[in-house]
Amino acid sequence: MKILTLSLLLFLTGCKFPKAVSAFYAKEVCSCLFVVGQEEEYCHEYGKQIIPIWTKEIDRKAKTVKAYGLWESTSARFISSRAGCIIEK
């Protein structure tokens, strides 16, 4: 309940932090999977924060991670072994 109230407050006040919830998950899970080469379960735990994401889509073939939380969505994409992952939007 506390998390829900806080989430709503952040959304209503126009604070930019909500974007961080999905962006952190998408970017860091992308790097965890496709740069470090860890298992999906480990990476999901790694991407967890106090405020959880609501949904996620991992496309192993396209090497992308999309996350949705606090009314914000973020995609991250693996580029190459040198350049790793990047937040797309």
Partner 1 sequence: MKILLIFFIIFQAHAAPPPWREATPKATGVKAPEWEAFLAYAKSTEHGFSTNALMVIYKGQLIEHSTFNGFKKGQTHRQWSVSKSITSTLIGIAIDKGLLTLETPVKRYYPLHKNTKYSPVLKELLGMSSGLDWNEGYESNPLKSSVIAMLYTEGFNDMASFTAARPFRAIPGEEFYYSSGETNLIMGMLKKTMGQNDYSNYPWSQLFNPMGIKSATWEKDSSGTFVGSSYLYMAPEDLAKIGLLYLKKGVFQGKRLLKKEWVEYSYQLSPPFLKFSQKKIDESEKSRVETYGAQWWLNADVPGFPNTHPYPGLPTDAYMALGHHGQVLLIVPSKDLVVVRNGADKDSKMDRVKFFDLLTKALP
Reference 71, options 14, 29, 32; nearest CA is 14
Task: Tell me how far, at minimum, the Cβ of 83 lies from partner 1, in Å.
Answer: 6
Task: Tell me how far, at minimum, the Cβ of 87 lies from partner 1, in Å.
Answer: 5
Let me know: does 70 contact 51? Beta carbons within 8 Å: yes
Of the pair 11, 46, the CB lying nearest partner 1 is at: 46
Which residues of this protein are in contact with partner 1, per CB under 8 A?
Answer: 10, 15-17, 19-20, 23-24, 27, 31, 35-37, 46, 49-50, 81-87
Task: Tell me how far, at minimum, the Cβ of 25 lies from partner 1, in Å.
Answer: 10
Of the pair 9, 57, the CB lying nearest partner 1 is at: 9
